[in-house]
Amino acid sequence: MPSASVIAAVRTALPPYRYAQEDLTEAIGDLCLPPGADRALLRRLHASAGVRTRHLTLPIERYATLGDFGRSNDTWLAAGLDLAEEALSGALKEAGLRPADVDLLVCTSVTGVAAPSLDARLAGRMGLRPDVKRLPLFGLGCVAGAAGLARVHDYLRGHPDDTAVLLAVELCSLTLQRCDDSRANLVAGALFGDGVAALVARGSATGKGGSGPEAPGPSVVATRSHLYPDTERLLGWDIGAGGFRVVIDAGVPGIVRDHLGRNLRAFLAEQGLTTDDIGTWVCHPGGPRILSAVTEALALPGNALDSARNSLATVGNMSSVSVLHILRTLRDAPRPRPGTWGLLVAMGPGLCSELVLLRW
């Protein structure tokens, strides 16, 4: 097998405003629905989303005053930088590293835009080296946590002495479209939460990183990307004067059922593995229907995706941050035994999937 990179640390930073799902339902209805509108669909979506609590960037009453896309994006930039610094500082400390030790910073977000990018603004703020390599990513959406980790692994295979960071910044609540009663917007308002995650990975020549009691983390062994033809309109954004208007098509679970199993099994077979060999599943919690489709497509035991369901319940769908958050919870929970195979799975706009094979 090719040389592996090692996940030395993962940290999540969540905004301070935490709400129970039932406390958000009517407030989101006030933002999205016209006065006097029937709220039966809204209430059903919130009740069936699998979400118990979520963190928001702002107090819920502030969202009505955000105004245009520019003000929402300014909020994304200011809050995102603060949370990114918190997550990255924590991850580097956990790994026993300094900001100056970072050779590559990959930064992904699909909930705001900035030039200079978040990573450039963060570099001076945190004391990263002036020659740090930077790679800002936009457009990958929910798959970016997995795809970003895969690209970090690609880099470290060619630079085995280096340290790389993946930073995911997703303040999804700031994209909620006010006065938009479309089903897609209401689904997003029922599912998505805000958060930031930082992952530190090290090349094979550095030794297994991390100084905390839970170190070292799993190794990344192999990755696989896949695009599904003629699915571009199933998931993503329509970007206009109001900002990011979500596109979520009801056909996504069907694509998962029809295609994911075949692609995933072929990938594992190339590594001499089957789904029965995977002891730990890290799946993006796109929503209850997506998790059910993955379970069905792979013929998994009913509890195989419990880590994803627990993440969805406690923090909502945080787009690219979610799989990194789940990795973090695995480090805090009873850890997989050494030698355990893991598979990190996510899907995103394109429509695409990303698979990352892990080993503890």
DSSP 140-165: -GGGHHHHHHHHHHHHHHH-TT-EEE
* Active-site residue, 142 included: yes
Q: Are 91 and 165 in contact (CB under 8 A)?
A: yes
Query: What whole-number distance in Å separates Cα of residue 145 and Cα of residue 163?
Result: 17
Q: Catalytic pick from 107, 142, 172, 283?
A: 142
Phi first, then psi: give them for residue 328, nearest 5 degrees.
Answer: -60, -45
- The distance of Cα 50 from the centroid of its chain, to the nearest Å, equals 17
Cβ atoms of 117 and 176 within 8 Å: the answer is: no
Residues pairing with 56 in the sheet: 17
Which CA distances in Å does 235 have to 105, 126, 149, 172? 27, 35, 21, 15
Which pair of structure tokens corresponds to residue 116?
């200079």
CA distance 41 to 49: 12
DSSP state letter for 236: E
- Annotated active-site positions, please? 142
